[in-house]
Structure 1
Amino acid sequence: MKCSSSSSSSLLRLSDLLPELSVSDEDQEMLRDLASNLVTHNLEQSNMLLVTKKGFPKSNTGQWKEMRRKDGLRIYRERPGSTRSKTPFTPSLLLLGTVDGTVEDVMYGVVANTDAAMKINSTYVNDGMLDTKILCELVEPSREDPFCHAGIKWKLFSDRDYVSLDTTGILCFSNGERVGYNLSHSVAFPDLPKFTKHGVLRGNMSVCSLYRQKTLTTVECYVRGFFDFPTMNEMLNNVALQALASQWLSFGRKVECGRMKKLAWRLRRNSLDARSSDGSNASTCSSCASSPSGRISPPSARPGVCVRCSHSFGFLGTSREICRSCMQSFCTRCTVKKVICAMTPDGRTVLEKKRSFCRECFGDAAMSDTLAIAREELGDGFVNDFQQYNPEILKKGFECRQVTKSIPILERATRRRI
């Protein structure tokens, strides 16, 4: 079992020094309008971007230089002097490409309306975030729209932290297109302390990611980010930009994060089902019962053999694995190992536990209705229910005018054209 503990380092306890923000109704409305305007601006900019048939920037413009490439994603940096804007140059990154899945799958791996959910998401995607805290909630998700959320969040990355206006959701257009979005835009508050004496610099950034359903099974990704660095040293800024580009590879792991959260949901659901049936076994997956879908139904369970392929476990049973979802016995060839994350009761530590799942249970969880699961979780309130939910998994399986004055990146980011 691997632990990511916020109590293991003094850096990770800085969140305790941050007070909750008291924001007037008027300022909350202004912040929500700001978020909406920024998302709309980024949508317009994404539609204006000149790309090739494969969806990557046209090289003849000379504006973008490739920095990273992994699977179907590419990350670019903007070259200084590549635009005619009279405003000072602000370093920026661009990510383009596709990932397998649906918009709902991606957004399920993105949305996080509690500190615990943010930490779990960060662990799954490995984005380098060390600690986080929601300082003010502006929009709460609902069962009708479980991916819609907005708030002021603090995030710590190594020697740099950010206070940002964050919003997520899915936009539906008259032509039927659905676009998922996730915005993080730096804001400033006089009541929030800085941690310079702790070696942490307060950074400014504006990052917006957009996700469009390209085909039934692929999602088109667009991420644009602007960054204000606290130094004019070009070499140090280049190093920082390289580090950010590496962190951006985590955008490609949002779908996998959603799938792992589905597995965690399934374990929880099976645990609750077992309780309601006086401790009987968890629900059986499709590999363990007759199925009209065309899957091969296994023979009746026999001791010492794999339920799926009837492979013998041998005398010592070293190749035997227990699926943590259906609790049936499988050989190693018929199982996959996945890391499931959960929070400890104190809400500080993310526990990572590697679990075995049969391929059918894993596939069923991955293909399950993402929207229905997100709605059910909101109804259950499981993310905050550490005592009931998380141990079971391991056992079984943001004044607004001041904002625009204090952060010039806002004006530059919204005025610049790609």
Structure 2
Amino acid sequence: MSKDDLMAQAMPHLQLSAQDMKAILELSVRMLETNLTQQKELRLTRDNFPDSRTWREVRRKDGIRVFKEFQSQNSLPSGNSATCMRAGFSHPEEFEMPSLLMLGTIAGNLNDVMYASIATSTDAMRARSKFVQDGIVNSKVLCCVESPSSDDPFHTLNVTWRYYSLSEPRDYTCIEATGMVPNDYGELVGFHLIHSLGFAQLPIFRNHGVERANMSVCSFFRQKSTTLVECYRRGYFDFYSSNEMLNNISLHTISTQWLSMARYVECAQMKKLVWWMRMRTGRDSFASSSQSSSSTSSGGIAMIGQNTRPRIQSATRCQVCRRGFGGFLRTAPRACACCAEWVCKRCCVKKQVCVVSSHNRSKVNDKKLIFCAQCVAEGSKSDAAPVLREEVMGLRTSYSSTRRTITCSTMETE
């Protein structure tokens, strides 16, 4: 068992009193209000850039840019700042801790971004990190303070543990909150708050060479247009170290990890495909053997975890474009991992999916599976909110066998 697995196993599930949960809720509300105010006060140029006298760009990818705040020589992290972070102090900026800022846009819609941000379980946290590559080596949900509801599916408040392998290995115990709030113009704004908080009953891992650090990070998302989501993130970090060189290396590593937000919409689409795959075929994880796009005698993947998938009967034509599989070139049919229909090479696509292993809960399997063009289109266009409602409420909807016929002659297998 790896070091991070041993640490995750040693982290107990927190038993918090009603008073403790109330205090955590009040802290999350206070931190959210502080960050909303801070976002409003941020001065931007006409091109939506921060003041170059205060911020220096350190990373960029597509429509996302990350900036590092200039600091004075006397602004190294101190014991006082770390104490205030652990106590849930609402204004870490007053202690001149290292700060990063992210601004930009990503293609997609707000619900998809929020669906990727939310993680209601340890499995969901690990699968998300594996897919978007956000730098988290291992993680765990230690306590659920508030859960999503059918009326507010994006609302969560959890206590979580995160382990990062940076220039110096560090871990964090945090409160983590997600949800939607209206802004001054009546628009819905999604938020994702992560704020360090210490708990006496949780172990530390200095004997493993891991330092317990502190951070306060808040992200906001707004639907800027029908196809673009505006992103904002501000983070403060206390690495509990006076080594300025290592701290700067850590900040640059974190700024690179923040660019993983560019994959949030793709992550949401992956989560929807995996959910439908489970609901429609009863599959919970991957088989040990890899799926071959040319192997059809076994019906794609025949067994997933404990559930046996019925063998797919041979078909004579593609269920999407209705072209026959025969002919001189003998086009080999492929089985969609989601709907179990036979499709041709032109009407299927390989998509990366991440699911926690049924044999080892600390391991996330990462594979490319074949999906038909119709399921991929549904995953892209469908609203994430109803899927999340079903997921968190444990509902199961029936899957209609009636399929719309679409033509995707230009789609090629990756």
1:217 aligns with 2:227: yes
CA distance in 2, matches of 1:235, 1:246: 17
- Secondary structure of 1:106 counterpart: helix
1:326 aligns with 2:339: yes
Q: Letter of the 2:369 partner, please give it.
A: R
What is the match of residue 53 of structure 1? 46
Q: Letter of the 2:381 partner, please give it.
A: M
What is the match of residue 189 of structure 1? 199
What is the match of residue 167 of structure 1? 177
Size of the alignment, in residue pairs? 351
Give TM-score scaled by structure 2 length.
0.78
CA distance in 1, matches of 2:177, 2:58: 27
CA 1:279–1:193 in 2, change beyond 3 Å: closer, same or farther? closer
1:74 aligns with 2:84: no
CA 1:343–1:315 in 2, change beyond 3 Å: closer, same or farther? farther
Q: Cα deviations across residues 342-371 of structure 1 (Å, max 9, x unaligned)?
A: 222352221222111222320111111211
What is the match of residue 343 of structure 1? 356
CA distance in 2, matches of 1:246, 1:217: 25
Q: Cα deviations across residues 238-278 of structure 1 (Å, max 9, x unaligned)?
A: 111111111111122211111100111221222259xxxx9
Q: Cα deviations across residues 104-136 of structure 1 (Å, max 9, x unaligned)?
A: 111100111111111111111111212112222
Alpha-carbon distance, 1:314 to partner: 6.5
Q: Letter of the 2:54 partner, please give it.
A: Q
Contact 2:325 2:331 in 1 (8 A): no
CA distance in 2, matches of 1:317, 1:10: 50
Alpha-carbon distance, 1:312 to partner: 6.3
Contact 2:336 2:343 in 1 (8 A): yes
Moved beyond 4 Å, runs of 4+: 82-88, 278-282, 304-307, 311-320
Contact 1:15 1:132 in 2 (8 A): yes
Of the candidates 138, 163, 177, which is equivalent to residue 187 of structure 2? 177
> Is there any run of 5+ residues in structure 2 with no aligned partner, and where?
76-91, 284-308, 397-414
CA 1:11–1:303 in 2, change beyond 3 Å: closer, same or farther? same
- Secondary structure of 2:135 counterpart: coil
Higher relative contact order (CA 8 A, sep 6+): 1
Contact 1:338 1:354 in 2 (8 A): yes
Alpha-carbon distance, 1:68 to partner: 0.6
What is the match of residue 251 of structure 1? 261
1:354 aligns with 2:354: no
Q: Cα deviations across residues 300-329 of structure 1 (Å, max 9, x unaligned)?
A: x98376842848676675764332233344
Taking only aligned residues, the RMSD between alpha carbons, in angstroms, comes to 2.9
> Is there any run of 5+ residues in structure 1 with no aligned partner, and where?
1-6, 283-300, 383-418
Which range is displaced more, 183-192 or 16-25? 16-25
What is the match of residue 104 of structure 1? 111
Which range is displaced more, 208-217 or 337-346? 337-346
Contact 2:281 2:340 in 1 (8 A): no
CA 1:54–1:311 in 2, change beyond 3 Å: closer, same or farther? farther
Of the candidates 90, 95, 98, which is equivalent to residue 97 of structure 2? 90
Q: Cα deviations across residues 44-66 of structure 1 (Å, max 9, x unaligned)?
A: 1111111233422243xx11000
What is the match of residue 295 of structure 2? none
1:23 aligns with 2:33: no
- Secondary structure of 1:130 counterpart: strand
CA 1:313–1:213 in 2, change beyond 3 Å: closer, same or farther? farther
CA distance in 1, matches of 2:278, 2:96: 49
Q: Cα deviations across residues 196-235 of structure 1 (Å, max 9, x unaligned)?
A: 1101111110000000111122110000000012221211
Alpha-carbon distance, 1:279 to partner: 5.7
CA 1:363–1:48 in 2, change beyond 3 Å: closer, same or farther? same
Q: Letter of the 1:380 partner, please give it.
A: G
What is the match of residue 36 of structure 2? 43
- Secondary structure of 1:152 counterpart: strand
Which structure: greater helix fraction? Answer: 1
Contact 2:163 2:170 in 1 (8 A): yes
- Secondary structure of 2:173 counterpart: strand
Contact 1:63 1:83 in 2 (8 A): no
Alpha-carbon distance, 1:21 to partner: 2.0
CA 1:314–1:71 in 2, change beyond 3 Å: closer, same or farther? farther
What is the match of residue 32 of structure 1? 25
Contact 1:102 1:213 in 2 (8 A): yes
1:176-325 to 2 correspondence within 5 Å?
176-271=186-281, 303=316, 307-308=320-321, 310=323, 317=330, 320-325=333-338
Of the candidates 381, 400, 404, which is equivalent to residue 367 of structure 1? 381
CA distance in 2, matches of 1:28, 1:325: 40
Give TM-score scaled by structure 1 length.
0.77
Among the aligned pairs, what percent are the same residue?
39
What is the match of residue 55 of structure 2? 64
What is the match of residue 138 of structure 1? 145
Q: Letter of the 1:334 partner, please give it.
A: C
Alpha-carbon distance, 1:334 to partner: 3.0
CA distance in 1, matches of 2:21, 2:93: 32
CA distance in 2, matches of 1:12, 1:372: 33
Q: Cα deviations across residues 145-196 of structure 1 (Å, max 9, x unaligned)?
A: 1111111111111111000111111113574300100111011122211101
Contact 1:115 1:133 in 2 (8 A): yes
CA distance in 1, matches of 2:30, 2:95: 22
Q: Letter of the 1:34 partner, please give it.
A: L
Contact 2:175 2:197 in 1 (8 A): yes
CA 1:143–1:56 in 2, change beyond 3 Å: closer, same or farther? same
Contact 1:206 1:227 in 2 (8 A): yes
CA 1:87–1:279 in 2, change beyond 3 Å: closer, same or farther? closer
Contact 2:316 2:326 in 1 (8 A): no
Q: Letter of the 1:245 partner, please give it.
A: S
Contact 1:78 1:93 in 2 (8 A): yes
